[in-house]
Amino acid sequence: MKKLVIAFAASVFVLSACMEKEKSDDVIQKAADGLKSIVAQVSDKTLSHEKNGYGQGTIVDEQNRPTGALDFNKKYSQYGAKAINEDDEKIILTFDQGYENGFTEKILDTLKEKGVRAIFFLTGDYAEKNPDLIKRMIEDGHILGSHTQSHYSMPELSADEIKDELDTIYDYVKKHYGYEMTLLRPPMGEFSEFSLDQTNKAGYTTIMWSYAYRDWVTDDQPDKKEAANKLINAAHKGAIYLLHSVSETNAAVLGEVIDGIREKGFEFDKL
């Protein structure tokens, strides 16, 4: 704080001197920009770089909402991040797209049949290798989000490295698909105050999740009936589901899950 006060005082002095010597809009603007830069740098240094691993936990409130997701919103909404939609009752399905395992087309078929719009978080490798699927996602009315270029742990990166991870995939998707991404899911759900702040400043809303289960291990897939029951019974207002499209189980039970959740009185974000 002392550094900030000193920097502010110095900037005010410089600004006053400049105004005395040459009262021009250009000089005033340069001094103001300098002050803004100093404040931003000092602010960045006060943010924690401690790595956090997100998970919704097993404790829920009276509305079946995971308290871990609600706590995340309270702590980190100031950085444009959320794990549950507290202001919207609709359920959102999200899929992390690290690599293609042959099930995404079936998932897209089911979503189209049920009239459900999902968010697909892409890595750079996926964006480059699966143009037909990505074009279909866009054509079908789904939302594309960033899962970063290289799937690195965000809190382990510097500000410049975070910017590069975001800009590289953003530029590729915009150039090749004409789509501008504004949503982000940090790889592995790992974050720090600093990384959340950096991605927020870059114009992204960080989307975690309020329900996920162990679906990503391709050679140890969950039992289909058990998985469907878990997903249906976890439904709650404003839910954000994290699913992995590499899961054979997810592709097989998705239609049943959508129907089951609707039977409980919930609705999804619609196509």
pLDDT at 15: 41
Q: Which residues contact 202 (CB under 8 A, 6 or more apart)?
A: 162, 163, 166
* DSSP secondary structure letters along 86-149: TT---BEEEEEESS--S-HHHHHHHHHHHTB-EEEEEPHHHHHH-HHHHHHHHHTT-EEEE--S
pLDDT at 24: 56
High-pLDDT (> 90) share of the chain, %? 83
pLDDT at 82: 98
pLDDT at 33: 52
Segment 93-150, tens digit of pLDDT:
999 999 999 999 999 999 999 999 999 999 999 999 999 999 999 999 999 999 999 9
Confidence of residue 85 (pLDDT cuts 50, 70, 90): very high
Range of weakest confidence among 22-26, 40-44, 111-115, 204-208 = 40-44
Backbone angles phi, psi at 240, to 5 degrees: -120, 110
- Average pLDDT of the chain? 89
Task: Using the predicted structure, report yes or no on whether residue 30 has a pLDDT greater than 80.
Answer: no
Retrieve residue 185's tokens.
């899911």
- The CATH H-level (homologous superfamily) assignment of domain 59-263 is Glycoside hydrolase/deacetylase (3.20.20.370)
Region 67-80: mean pLDDT is 98
Q: Is the pTM of this model over 0.75?
A: yes
pLDDT at 200: 98
Task: Using the predicted structure, report yes or no on whether residue 87 has a pLDDT greater than 60.
Answer: yes
More confident residue, 93 or 43: 93
Segment 158-192, tens digit of pLDDT:
999 999 999 999 999 999 999 999 999 999 999 99
pLDDT at 12: 43
pLDDT at 60: 98
Give domain limits for the chain. 2-46, 59-263
Q: Any idea which residues carry the catalytic annotation? A: 96, 244
Nearest to 179 by CA among 144, 132, 207: 144
Question: Dihedral sign, CA of 134, 212, 124, 44?
Answer: positive
Per DSSP, the three-state class of 264 is coil
CA–CA dist 79, 94 (Å, integer) = 21
